[in-house]
Amino acid sequence: MSFTNDQIAELELLLLFPDNSLMQGIKIHNDAEPSKIEAGKRLFAKGIITQTDGGYLTELGYDLLKYANILKLALK
């Protein structure tokens, strides 16, 4: 099974979040790439981020970011 383009966009967006604090977030601007905007909406719907346009990671999001960073390092 391969990652879908949507899943890759979600992983890439997740990796933009700071990994050292739940108190730091990101903002997805209206003029961002459509794939980033849509990924933000999907991550919000899944309970991974607090706002459709970024915001902060939820506890689930923070846990997933740790795993995404491990995967990224392992595949380097």
Each domain of the chain, given as residue ranges in start order, spans 5-74
pTM passes above 0.85? yes
Q: What is the pLDDT of residue 59?
A: 93
Per-residue model confidence as pLDDT tens digits over 27-45: 999 999 999 999 999 999 9
Average pLDDT, the chain: 95
Pairing of strands 26-27, 49-51: unpaired
Residues 6+ apart with CB under 8 A from 73: none
Strand partners, 51: 54
Q: What is the pLDDT of residue 42?
A: 98
